[in-house]
Amino acid sequence: METKIYSLDDIDEAAAALKAGQLVAFPTETVYGLGADATNVEAVSHVYAAKGRPSDNPLIVTIADVATLTRFAQPLSDKVKTLIDTFWPGSLTIILPLKPNALSKTVTGGLDTAAFRMPANNATLKLIRTAGVPIVGPSANTSGKPSPTLAEHVYHDLKGKIAGILDDGPTDVGVESTIIDMSTEIPTILRPGAVTEDQLADVIGEVRGNKHKVGANETPKAPGMKYKHYAPTAQVTIVDDPTDFAAAVAWVSSHNSKAGLMATDSVLSQLTVPDSVEVFTLGPDVAAASHRLFAGLRHFDLETDVTAILTQGFSTDGLGAAYMNRLNKSAGDEHFTNDKSIDK
């Protein structure tokens, strides 16, 4: 099929496609999502097929108002209402227990809970309101690849597989939303994002960071918990200590005819980089790096022939938790160590 690029003037047409059971990618403040009518089982199944996504990987339900949420979820607790009042619209996804048979198991991965989000993007909120249905909203990319922060990234992965893409330019945050499970006794973060653990605890009290590893036969409660994510074709290696970059660059250039380097401006200013290593700046700090991480991985994946990518690591404090969560998954937990610089 032809994949159309919808402008903001084409929202009525994009909404009509969603209502007709077609797939339309949409912008959020975090990354682009892949939309389908969440109440249409056939349309939702096409999302899994288009992405090549495992069927037990649950989908986020994207909404434009709280009234829609109350149609599907069990009565909201005071803590959930506080989260909604504080962080919606915004980069927080909330897992809630569902009313019986409220949503298809195709959406929930077979669970009795579902993840809900109201994004801080006016174009998408208008799209959902115009369509008149909630939409599923996984990232609009081939499963396992870096998430898309531009409409062009979506088009590269999904052209010919979806009806269209609502283009609202580059996303603002660059990493997916924080996911908090409010179906448990103690609220638990299942995926870190722009809304930090401290911010959540400030408004609802005790919050637990999730350390659970999902087993091979276990259904994850949230996206990104079980399967490989965010990985470009080239192997990513994390450099945790900025003082190791000189050794890391020497190592990667000696083992690869072409390599990539992603680091902050301050690190790059102190390095002598050979011609065989292409540089992509992550900006001045972890906030900028979070915004640019997926764009950098996409750049090296789509526009170069690098076979390895060195990428700067950060502390897991604050926003660094979200950045390192995505980067570790992208790298398969591959970190540079000084013994790599020694040929054996």
25: which strand partners?
Answer: 34, 165
Amino acid at position 233, single letter: T
259: which strand partners?
Answer: 277, 308
Nearest residue to 114 (alpha-carbon basis) of 66, 64, 74: 74
What is the side-by-side strand order in the sheet with 235-239?
235-239, 308-312, 259-263, 277-281
Consult the annotation and say whether 77 binds a ligand. Answer: no
Consult the annotation and say whether 210 binds a ligand. Answer: no
Consult the annotation and say whether 113 binds a ligand. Answer: yes
Bond from prior residue into 58 cis (ω within 30 degrees of 0): no
Consult the annotation and say whether 53 binds a ligand. Answer: yes
Consult the annotation and say whether 139 binds a ligand. Answer: yes
Q: Alpha-carbon distance 7 to 4, whole Å?
A: 10
Amino acid at position 338, single letter: N
Q: Alpha-carbon distance 90 to 293, whole Å?
A: 20
Give CA angle at 32 (29, 38), nearest 5°: 105
* Alpha helices per DSSP H over the chain: 11-19, 41-51, 66-72, 78-87, 105-108, 122-131, 151-158, 197-204, 245-255, 265-268, 286-303, 320-331
Consult the annotation and say whether 178 binds a ligand. Answer: no
Consult the annotation and say whether 183 binds a ligand. Answer: no
Nearest residue to 38 (alpha-carbon basis) of 128, 117, 136: 136
Q: What is the DSSP letter of 338?
A: G
Consult the annotation and say whether 117 binds a ligand. Answer: yes
Known binding-site positions: 30, 53, 57, 113, 117, 139, 147, 177, 191, 230
Known binding-site positions for L-threonine: 30, 117, 177
Known binding-site positions for ATP: 53, 57, 113, 139, 147, 191, 230
